């Protein structure tokens, strides 16, 4: 019995050792597998690190990129140059137009009346110039006539002087004969009266000469004044005619402005005008977007722009087409300020709670026109921009 009792524990221990052996083997296998995968993971991390380092050294450090980039364009805002009522609208939103196409027609009635008035004013100015030219000839004839009057007055003055001299001599003779009684007192009195009359006639003749000379001077002044108006001018170069011509040109221009044409090629957007509406001068009525001349404004972080220069090549991918379409362009310029500094309400950092925020500076990227023609872009679309720092 003792032998059997002793044999039983020995059998149980061997069975227990046989049962635990598979568990240890499984644990060892699991540890080996785990170690193998960890080794593989470490190798993969090392390989990826080496690949990333090689990519950065060869490619990555020579590129800067951003997805904060949007399509933009120099849009043309169409505004009427005169105030008038709209009679016809020939375009609608999303319609493509060419430069010179008629967009809107305004009521030309007032412009035509103003044109007719300007034409009448020009004709009146030309007639006044011709009248002034004819007046110069008439005034020149008057000056010649006043010269003849002066000659006549001087002749009368000479006659009066001779009469005065004759009357004086006659008076002296009679006065010399009064003492001898050869001449009566009446004759002396008559001689004195004749002498006085001759002197009065002399003064009148002298006044006539002065009057004729003054009249001639006045006529000469009128002639000079009229010559100043027409001298060196023709019916086309006269200042009055030129002023009237300028008003006529302005009236023609206002009439032409009743037809509003497209200033550039593009697509109509934001049309704000209807038939019958009275538009004011300078008020926007629509916008034209030049799709063939769009560009990209890429907002790069300030630290990314250390080596970026104007002229460097860039590639652009638009979200609307995805990575299958790549646009090629170049850097053409940098904005004069960051987006925050040029905002409507710029950030004020002079506070005690100031926190430094990385700023972004808009960089303009010009695109290839041929690629734009093949895959048009619209203003405001999102893009991704990559600049090659090693390119020239």
Task: Verify that 297 and 279 share a domain, yes or no.
Answer: no
Model confidence at 7: pLDDT above 50: no
Domain count of the fold of the chain: 3
Confidence bin at 81 (pLDDT 50/70/90): very high
Give the relative orientation of helices 185-230 and 109-177 as an angle to the nearest 10 degrees: 160
281 and 305 inside one domain: no
Is the pTM higher than 0.75? no
Same domain (yes/no): 118, 175: yes
Domain identity same for 265 and 318: no
Domain boundaries, position 95: 76-108+256-288
Q: Is the pLDDT score of 147 beyond 80?
A: no
When pLDDT is cut at 50, 70 and 90, the band that residue 370 belongs to is very high
* CATH number of the CATH domain containing 222: 1.10.287.620
Q: How confident is the model at residue 226 (pLDDT cuts 50, 70, 90)?
A: low
Residue 93 is predicted with a pLDDT of: 92
- Pick the more confident residue, 199 or 124: 124
pLDDT given for residue 51 in this prediction: 80
Q: What is the pLDDT of residue 8?
A: 47
Output the domain CATH number for residue 90: 2.40.50.100
Same domain membership, residue 227 and residue 134: yes
- The per-residue pLDDT of the chain, averaged, comes to 82
Is there a single domain that holds both residue 142 and residue 153?
A: yes
Q: Which of 294, 315, 318, 291 is nearest to 383 (CA)?
A: 318
Which strands, in side-by-side order, build the sheet including 286-289? 76-78, 286-289, 266-269, 96-97
Find the mean pLDDT for residues 77-82: 94
pLDDT, position 2: 40
Instruction: Identify the residue with better confidence: 285 or 138.
Output: 285
Task: Evaluate if residue 10 carries a pLDDT over 60.
Answer: no
Flag whether pLDDT at 198 surpasses 90: no
Query: Are residues 249 and 115 both part of a single domain?
Result: yes
Asked if residues 364 and 332 have their Cβ atoms less than 8 Å apart, the reply is yes
Choose one of 229, 253, 277: the last residue of a domain. 253
**349 or 378, higher pLDDT:** 378
Lowest-pLDDT choice from 9-18, 22-31, 53-62, 95-104: 9-18
Instruction: Mark whether 155 and 245 lie in a shared domain.
Output: yes
Say whether 360 sits in a helix, a strand or coil: strand
Last residue of a domain, one of 227, 253, 279: 253
Are residues 216 and 333 part of one domain?
no
> Based on the domain organization, do 214 and 241 belong to the same domain?
yes
* H or E, element range at 314: strand 313-318
Say whether both 119 and 222 belong to one domain.
yes
Report the pLDDT averaged over residues 357-368. 91
The verdict on 126 and 144 lying in the same domain is: yes
Per-residue pLDDT reduced to its tens digit, 95-110: 999 999 999 999 999 9
Task: Report pLDDT for 237.
Answer: 74
């Amino acid at each position: 019995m003792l032998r059997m009792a002793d044999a039983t524990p020995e059998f149980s221990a061997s069975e227990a050792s046989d049962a635990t052996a598979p568990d240890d083997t499984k644990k060892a296998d699991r540890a080996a597998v785990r170690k193998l995968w960890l080794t593989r993971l470490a190798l993969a991390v090392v390989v990826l690190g080496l690949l990333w380092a090689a990519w950065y050294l060869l490619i990555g450090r020579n590129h800067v990129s951003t997805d904060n980039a949007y399509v933009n364009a120099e849009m043309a805002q169409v505004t009427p140059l005169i105030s008038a009522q709209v009679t016809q609208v020939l375009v609608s939103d999303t319609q493509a137009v060419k430069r010179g196409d008629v967009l809107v027609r305004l009521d030309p009635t007032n412009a035509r009346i103003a044109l007719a008035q300007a034409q009448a004013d020009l004709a009146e100015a030309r007639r006044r110039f011709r009248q002034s030219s004819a007046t110069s000839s008439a005034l020149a004839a008057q000056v010649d006539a006043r010269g003849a009057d002066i000659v006549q007055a001087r002749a009368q003055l000479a006659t009066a002087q001779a009469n005065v001299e004759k009357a004086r001599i006659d008076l002296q003779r009679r006065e010399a004969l009064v003492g001898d009684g050869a001449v009566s007192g009446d004759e002396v009195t008559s001689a004195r009266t004749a002498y006085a009359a001759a002197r009065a006639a002399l003064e009148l003749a002298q006044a006539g000469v002065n009057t004729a000379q003054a009249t001639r001077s006045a006529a000469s002044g009128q002639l000079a004044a009229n010559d100043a108006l027409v001298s060196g001018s023709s019916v086309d170069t006269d200042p009055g005619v030129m002023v009237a011509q300028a008003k006529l040109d302005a009236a023609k221009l206002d009439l032409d402005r009743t037809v509003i044409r497209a200033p550039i090629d593009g697509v109509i957007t934001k049309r704000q005008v209807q038939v019958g509406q009275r538009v004011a001068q300078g008020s926007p009525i629509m916008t034209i977007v030049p799709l063939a001349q769009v560009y990209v404004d890429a907002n790069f972080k300030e630290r990314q722009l250390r080596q970026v220069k104007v002229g460097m090549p860039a590639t652009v991918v638009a979200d609307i087409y995805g990575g299958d379409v790549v646009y090629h362009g170049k850097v053409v310029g940098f904005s004069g300020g960051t987006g925050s500094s040029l905002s409507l309400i710029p950030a004020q950092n002079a506070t005690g709670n100031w926190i430094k925020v990385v700023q972004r500076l808009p960089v303009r990227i010009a695109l290839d026109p041929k690629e734009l023609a093949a895959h048009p872009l619209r203003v405001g679309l999102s893009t991704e921009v990559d600049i090659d720092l090693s390119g020239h």
